[in-house]
Every structure is written in structure tokens, then in C-alpha cells.
Amino acid sequence: MKEAEQKLQKLYRELEIKVAQRTMELLASKHLADIGTLAATVAHELRNPLGVINVAAYNLRKKARDPGLIKHISSIEKKVAEGSQIINNLLVYSRMKMPQFGKNDIYSLLSECAEAVKKHFGGRKIRLKKLLQPLKGMNVDADALQLREIFTNLITNAYQAIEDNRGVVEVSGSVKSGNGIAISIKDTGTGINKEDMANIFKPFFTRKTKGTGLGLVICRDLINMHNGAIEVKSAPGKGSTFTVTIPIRRDK
Ligand SMILES: Nc1ncnc2c1ncn2[C@@H]1O[C@H](COP(=O)(O)OP(=O)(O)OP(=O)(O)O)[C@@H](O)[C@H]1O
Ligand SMILES: [Mg+2]
């Protein structure tokens, strides 16, 4: 009798965990759908007018001789390019799909992401440290494009957090006991104050003039879809560390 009761209790606990997990998944997908629709609508509505402005600026530039006027046209073109970038971010977000799982050489993937971001910020004297040796030869079951999206976003944030021309961005990896790896992106940038910390994963929260405030939202949703987790530690004025843990295999 006691044994049966214990068994029942165990089953009950398992069921509770399953219900909680499924609820979380549903909440995440609902949230995703709402913001996705909004983002897609805004992006779509903005794309055409921006295109028209761009063509008009191009035609004006062809005719313009006055250096003062050319300067104004350049600033229109620059702002149009910035606007287009924001639209791209919105579209990435709205088109977010369930992961297509496959084997990923995580060592190479992270090295490539880090080098690509470094190249993008080429003009700045920021040292990139890669401590990825522990991940060498490991294959992670995940969506390749989504992994790239996650780490490109986090490494880009790290570079952007460094305001002066000196600083270090460190990308490190380790294997956890059981079925997981941890990847940390550490910067010696501005850090995040307590108040902002409560907001950084909220859609459209940004402290940047050219930010959409969707980077971390995208990261968190993609990581959740991989059954992973993201954690932040930050010391204002000193820097931040974002740590992502993801399972190596899906079946555990
Ligand atoms: N490494 C970091 N150091 C300091 N602040 C950070 C860091 N990463 C994120 N933040 C803060 O969190 C905010 C939200 O980040 P998120 O990546 O979601 O959007 P964003 O970088 O502002 O814009 P986007 O990524 O869409 O271009 C940032 O504006 C910044 O204030
Ligand atoms: Mg960002």
C-alpha cells in the first residue's frame, strides 16, 4: 500500500513538472507570436517609405553640386541605413522559427562568430580573448543559424559596452557535468546597473541610439527553445558576463 502511494506521489511530481514545463513553453510561444506580429507589421510598413527616401536621396546626390547640400544628403543616407538595420532586427525576430536541430562543431562556430564581430568593430582597439579549447571536438545538437544569432548578439553587445578605445572581450567555453556546455561572454565595458538589469530582457528596452532592444529578447527565446539558460552578472563600471548553458544532446 505504502509502495503504491509512493509510486503515485512520484508520478504526480513528474506530472507537475511536465505541466510546468509545458506552460512555460506555451507562455514563451504566445509572447513570441504577439511581438513577432507587431515587429513584422512595423517592419513591413517602414520598409517602403525608407526605400523611397533612399531613391530620392540618390537622385538628389546625382544632381547636387553644393557641398553643404551633399552633406545633408549623406546624413539622410546614413539615417536610412540605420533605419534599415533596425528593420532587419525586427524581421529576424518576427521570423523566428522552431529550431532545426543538427550537429554543430561548437568550437568552430564560436570562433567564427567572435572573429566576425571583431572584424565588424575593426577600427577599435578591443582585445578579443578566445578560451574555447575545452569545447574542441564537441558536437552540440542545435540549430546552427540560431546559435550564430545568439552568440553574434551577445558578442556584439560586449563590444558595444566598451565605450573607450581599450578593453577586453573574452569568449570562453567549458563542459559541464552531465549533458551541458557553458559559454561565457565577458566584457570590460560599462556594466549594467541594478535598475536596467530588471529590464534588459524586455522587448524594445535599449540604452543605445541605434538599438532595437530586441537582441537579448531574441537570445533568451532561442536559448529557451534549446532547453538552455542564460545568466548575467555585472558590475557597473567594470563589465558584464553573460553565460549561456545549453544541452549537448537533446534526449536528456
Ligand atoms: N554586455 C553588456 N554590457 C552592458 N550593457 C548591456 C550589455 N548587453 C546588453 N546591455 C544592455 O541591455 C540593453 C538591451 O540589449 P539588447 O541586445 O537587447 O538590445 P540593444 O543591444 O540595445 O539593441 P539591438 O541588440 O537590438 O541592436 C542594451 O541597450 C544595454 O543597455
Ligand atoms: Mg544588442
Span from the CA of 206 to the centroid of ligand 1 (angstroms):
6
CA-proximal residue: ligand 1, atom 12 (nearest) = 200
**Looking at residue 26, what is its pLDDT?**
67
Query: Is pLDDT above 80 for 152?
Result: yes
CA-proximal residue: ligand 1, atom 19 (nearest) = 213
Residue carrying the nine cell digits 538595420:
85
Mean pLDDT of the chain: 88
Q: How far is 252 from 229, CA to CA, in rounded Å?
A: 15
Q: How far is 224 from 12, CA to CA, in rounded Å?
A: 25
| CB 245, CB 182: distance < 8 Å | yes
How many CA atoms are closer than 13 Å to the CA of 185, on its beta-carbon side?
Answer: 24
**Confidence grade of residue 29 (pLDDT, cut at 50, 70, 90):** low
Query: Is pLDDT above 60 for 149?
Result: yes
Span from the CA of 107 to the centroid of ligand 2 (angstroms):
22
The residues lining ligand 1, judged by C-beta closer than 6 Å to any ligand atom, are 89, 153, 157-158, 161, 187, 189-190, 192, 196, 200, 205-208, 211-217, 240
DSSP 8-state class, residue 248? S
Q: Which atom of ligand 1 is nearest to the CA of 206?
A: 29
Chain segment 186-233, per-residue pLDDT in tens: 999 999 999 999 999 988 899 998 788 889 998 998 999 999 999 999
Query: Is pLDDT above 70 for 27?
Result: no
Span from the CA of 67 to the centroid of ligand 1 (angstroms):
37
